[in-house]
Amino acid sequence: MFRLITGIPGPSGFGSASTAEQVTQGIDASNLTAIVTGGASGIGFETARVLALRKAHVVIAARNVEAANEARQNIVKENGTARVDVLKLDLCSIKSIKAFADDFYALGLPLNILINNAGVMFCPYQLSQDGIEMQFATNHLGHFYLTNLLLDKMKHTANSTGIEGRIVNLSSVAHVHTYRGGIRFDRINDKDSYSDKKAYGQSKLANILHANELSRRLQQLKWDLKHVALLLLILHLKYVSNFCYGQEEGANITVNSVHPGLIMTNLMRHSALLMRVLQAFTFILWKNVPQGAATTCYVALHPSLQGVTGKYFLDCNEFPPSKLARDKALAKRLWDFSDKLVNAAAQN
């Protein structure tokens, strides 16, 4: 709390007062391609702007294409050499997510960085186009499906370029305020007991659990391939062994989650009055947008995090999330539950 209030840097050399530009100073991302969901406004826009400033090729994925194109124009106006594309993505629609992935593959671009930034917050009870509670559907399930669709592209890019891929899930400290047990698997759509605050916390907990479980699976893949390759090497099957070592690089992807901090953005439109009252009494804890995008940009680009995976970051420093967020069994159960929901929705 002291560091948060004072802005004193942590072990990384950065802190709550650091901005996205400061934490990426001197980094050349010209050989990287990044997708930023919700990159048309707020900290998503600042993230896209700074990645483009560091010469990354940025794809803004947004529901409002008009706003996204305006964001692109603003970035290019400031930085004439910026490479920015816009694709439509509605995370509360499985059909739209699949269409986005197809559109991205059609561009023929590599994919080094996926920033799952978009979301909704404290919205009244409603269901997504696929009949799933809106905050869970948009904040977690949509990004879960999107990530799965893009994972082969990220593996191929990491394998062919030798550059580590990075996936960043935007979570929140609100993940500590959720329903009993963390995730309401048996009552995900229950209207009578719906709490807009706890539903948001549930979705943000899901973001961390998703990152942790995907990280575990990718690490397990690397571990399994190493053992297969070693066994084949022992058996003197050199050609196949070399093939497996090459395939191992396909899992050279890290997955982490971040809390951006308290920032007044359009995300809070469903509770603007409450947030402004809260801000009045806790103003010293709030960040501006450039500060809010700092942790995302740090985790996405900073070379010091090479190989760091399955971690949660706050103010550009690793920080322990809640006990539920560290529950491996809960993470696996959420993965299986999410997979079933996506498959069911995709068949409709």
Show which residues are catalytic.
194
Structure tokens at 95: 């059909």
> What is residue 62's DSSP assignment?
E
Cα–Cα dist 284/291, whole Å: 13
Closest CA to 301 of 20, 59, 11, 7: 20
Q: What's the one-letter identity of residue 121?
A: M
In sequence order, which ranges of the chain are alpha helices (DSSP H)?
Answer: 2-6, 20-23, 42-53, 65-78, 94-107, 134-135, 142-161, 196-234, 238-248, 272-281, 289-292, 294-301, 328-347
Note whether 135 and 120 are within 8 A (CB). Answer: yes
**Terminal Cα distance for the chain, rounded:** 47
Contact 183, 202 (CB under 8 A): yes
Q: Is 256 within 8 Å of 312 (Cβ atoms)? A: yes
Reduced to 3 states (helix: H, G, I; strand: E, B; else coil), residue 79 is coil
- What Å distances lie between residue 174 and 107, 207, 306, 325, CA to CA? 36, 11, 27, 12
320 CB neighbour count, 10 Å cutoff: 10
